[in-house]
């Protein structure tokens, strides 16, 4: 078992619950949602592969990324699933992602420090 596996390797008969959930939402998504999901999913996947490779499969970094994705998933399913997000929730999420992306750009040396 490699250091990233939480459970024994799945056999071909076992299904990944994350893929099943993704497929459920993809099947019910609009064409625009499907296209955005496909592009964003590929960006996430590529970034994760690159970070793992460039970090030498650093487990702390991988666990931190996983924690972020779990928190995002929890936020996505919070409340009554059929209800639309409220404007205040959309605003808070948009602000959070905008601020964190600026902080990340600062870490990579691509932008001036946030607030400057």
At 37 the pLDDT is 93
Q: Which pTM value belongs to this model?
A: 0.68
Q: Is the pLDDT of residue 5 over 60?
A: no
Q: What is the radius of gyration, based on Cα positions, of the chain?
A: 17
Nearest to 99 by CA among 84, 112, 115: 115
Q: Is the pLDDT of residue 116 over 80?
A: no
Q: What confidence tens digit (pLDDT) does each residue in 38-47 have?
A: 999 999 999 9
At 80 the pLDDT is 82
At 2 the pLDDT is 47
At 7 the pLDDT is 45
């Amino acid at each position: 078992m490699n250091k990233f596996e939480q459970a024994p390797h799945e056999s071909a008969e076992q299904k990944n619950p994350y893929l099943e959930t993704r497929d459920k939402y993809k099947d019910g998504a609009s064409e625009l949602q499907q296209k955005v999901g496909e592009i964003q999913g590929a960006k996430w996947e590529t970034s994760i592969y690159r970070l793992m490779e460039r970090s030498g499969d650093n487990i702390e970094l991988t666990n931190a990324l996983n924690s972020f994705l779990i928190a995002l998933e929890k936020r996505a399913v919070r409340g009554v699933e059929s209800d639309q997000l409220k404007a205040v929730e959309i605003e808070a999420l948009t602000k959070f992602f905008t601020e964190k992306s600026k902080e990340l750009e600062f870490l990579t040396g691509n932008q001036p420090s946030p607030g400057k």
